Amino acid sequence: MSIKSNYKYLLSDLTALKGVGIKTTNLLKKKNINSIFDLLWKLPKSFTDRSLSSKIKDLKIGENQTVTVTPQRYHFPRLRNIPNRVICSDDTGKLDCIFFNSYEGYVKKILPLGKEITISGKISHFKNKYQITNPKYISEDSSFIKQLHNKYSLTDGISEKVYNKIIKQIIDKLPLLNEWHSKEIIKKFGNLGWNNSIKELHKPENIGKFREKIYQRLAFDEIFSTFLVNSEIRRKIKKIKKKRKKININLQISLINKLNFSLTDDQINSLKEINKDLSTSTKMFRLLQGDVGSGKTIIALLAAYNTITSGYQVALMAPTEILARQHYNLAKELFSKNIKIELISGKSEYKNKKIILDKLKNNKIDIIFGTHAIFQKKVSYKKLGLIIIDEQHKFGVNQRKRLSDKGGDDCDVLLMTATPIPRTLTMTMYGDMDISILREKPKSRKPIKTYSKLESKIEDVIKFIKKEINSENQIFWVCPLIEESKKLDHTSAVKKFEFLKKLFPNQVSLLHGKTDVNEKEKILSDFQKNKFKILVSTTVIEVGIDFPNANVIIIENANKFGLSQLHQLRGRVGRGHKESTCILMFKSNLSENAKKRINILKQCNDGFKISEEDMKIRGFGDILGFKQSGVKNFKLADPIHHSDLFLLAEKEMKRIENYNEDIKKFKPLIKLYDRADIINDIA
């Protein structure tokens, strides 16, 4: 078999397996098993030892046991619902094999009279006789049964016996792939090849031994395949030649001098990195990753300004209309009237929208703000030079690649996120991009004081709120649910709104995911204009919205949120010059993890440290309290337990890039790990 046919067998449809028809295929697909390769990663959770054979007299009731017997007599009743019975014996006694829903012909075939047969199953006792009901295994070949049998998390309709048969068939036919890693790398994993590692992985004695070389070898393959894909995307983007943008540093300095604050060192360094990208002949594909309140928006707008003064258009996309308008208003304050700024929103009338689109097409708009609508097919630009995407964590690698392609060769791409994530996840999620990081907060920003409070002490919180309102301050009050739930003992926003508006008449408003878009914008606009003091909401206020006058946030059922999400919510305050407060409210009887989360948040304001701790507590799959579509769904690799493998993969990837090695030898690895659609033109 050639390498090509080897890995292609593993990617074959399940129907390529003997004994696997449409029905079984559909059952497996319900478990997201779509190819032979997918089946290899549904690992055994435990095993049943059927290796020891017992005599009938020594059988133990209630246990799975193996026994070799000779069928003596059939009993096939003619009445429905009465099972078929085969009386079997050995030299020590008798045993009944009971069959429900089995035809005479089938029973006679598997248990022929007078032949020695090995059977295995759970032993029971009925009317002073041992019996096995619907034995798990029956075979004339005792060696087939007398072994350790893996137990899997089964799909309804597939028996353990069938599942083991399917896995055994794959393991027996497992192709011997040529090694893709260097000798130095393989040596670190005890010189284990991919083929042997897979075989070892499914042996009962290796179940759960995640620290073993076999697990590490295969986890490294997963990690490294991701690094390879990211490297190849980076290489392809860097190959694109574009016209250099001419950055007018004097104009940039003049604009920065108009700001009422000084840039942090991180902001200055990030701006230099972005300007360097803009002014080179290779396309920029960069992520600006900043902690909450670290000032990434101003850097993005300065990059936009430098692009506009170079003679190009800029498009800035935000996840919500509210955030798009916020950026639009900031740009209007910041830029001179010579720069033509527009906003496309869902509320824009068709006539106005058409005028804006015509202006874009004819280069009469310098910078456009909006949601995803600004990248629809009907929207065309005359000279688009920079795409900026805010809060881009909803974009996976495929979407980012398409976005980069859409802008054309001369268009640079800057993605932003205020979601700090651990280094191992950054490598995985954003390895296809260059990264600028903002850790520092502006010097004018004071740390947010964080306290925890039992729900029963709400009167103390109300007293504190009254004092803050008297000082002309505003308050966010966050609840996990919109309305009360019989299933969840969480505070609802609607109930809390009703409670607070009695205490603070005409000073409270309510916002949640079901609020109409226009109504939502009006509520937030009124809050920004200080028309009311308390905004009760769900987590819809989590990302990006800027209200400098809001300096208190109260989070109900804080123990139900992840650390990173709590940090994001807390970041809605502390944006003005006043001291800010976050109060985490919780019920009694907290779990140890909940106590740990609350204490970490009280002690730390650094989003990057918080995300590391969050990942240790919650695991990497859901560190933000919601599933990240950009996160690679690893089968074995874990950014917490395998951080050393991530660093090794990074080092090996740099070596390959520095020596400009041909990655064709890694084609099977890339294809097997489901990333072929991105770089499918590898020869």
Strand order in the sheet with 534-537: 449-454, 581-586, 550-555, 474-478, 534-537, 508-511
pLDDT at residue 674, rounded to an integer: 62
Strand (E) or helix (H) holding 29: helix 22-29
Residue 208: partners with Cβ closer than 8 Å, 6 or more residues away: none
Distance CA 116, CA 503 (A): 84
Query: How large is the average pLDDT for residues 450-473?
Result: 93
Summarised one tens digit per residue, pLDDT across range 200-250 is 988 888 887 777 899 999 999 999 998 998 888 888 888 889 999 999 999
Residue 588: partners with Cβ closer than 8 Å, 6 or more residues away: 454, 456
Tally Cβ neighbours within 10 Å of residue 361: 13
Summarised one tens digit per residue, pLDDT across range 268-286 is 999 999 999 999 999 999 9
Reported confidence tier of residue 626, pLDDT bands at 50, 70, 90: very low
Q: Between the ranges 165-179, 530-544, 618-632, where is the mean pLDDT highest? A: 165-179
Give the residue among 390, 410, 403 at the shortest CA–CA distance from 312: 410
For 510-642, where are the alpha helices, taking DSSP H only? 517-528, 563-570, 592-603, 607-618
pLDDT at residue 629, rounded to an integer: 38
Summarised one tens digit per residue, pLDDT across range 72-99 is 999 999 887 889 999 999 999 999 999 9
pLDDT at residue 486, rounded to an integer: 46
Query: How large is the average pLDDT for residues 182-190?
Result: 94
Summarised one tens digit per residue, pLDDT across range 512-535 is 878 887 788 788 888 888 999 999
pLDDT at residue 680, rounded to an integer: 57
pLDDT at residue 393, rounded to an integer: 54
Distance CA 251, CA 633 (A): 45
Higher pLDDT, 489 or 184: 184
Instruction: Check pLDDT > 80 for residue 616.
Output: no
The type of residue at 654 is: K
Instruction: Check pLDDT > 80 for residue 679.
Output: no
List the beta bridge partners of residue 129: 126
Question: What's the mean pLDDT when you consider all of the chain?
Answer: 86
Per the document, the length of the chain is 683
Instruction: Check pLDDT > 80 for residue 395.
Output: no
Reported confidence tier of residue 406, pLDDT bands at 50, 70, 90: low
Decide: 375 and 315 in contact? Cβ < 8 Å. yes
Reported confidence tier of residue 348, pLDDT bands at 50, 70, 90: low
Instruction: Check pLDDT > 70 for residue 396.
Output: no
- The domains of the chain, with CATH numbers, are 1-47+162-176 (no CATH), 51-146 (2.40.50.140), 182-239+644-683 (no CATH), 249-438 (3.40.50.300), 449-604 (3.40.50.300)
Query: How large is the average pLDDT for residues 149-171?
Result: 82
Instruction: Check pLDDT > 50 for residue 359.
Output: yes
Reported confidence tier of residue 677, pLDDT bands at 50, 70, 90: low
pLDDT at residue 403, rounded to an integer: 64
Strand 341-343 and strand 367-370: the pairing is parallel
Instruction: Check pLDDT > 90 for residue 492.
Output: no
pLDDT at residue 223, rounded to an integer: 93
Decide: 235 and 681 in contact? Cβ < 8 Å. no
Q: Return the residue matching tokens 């995307």.
A: 233
Give the global pTM: 0.75
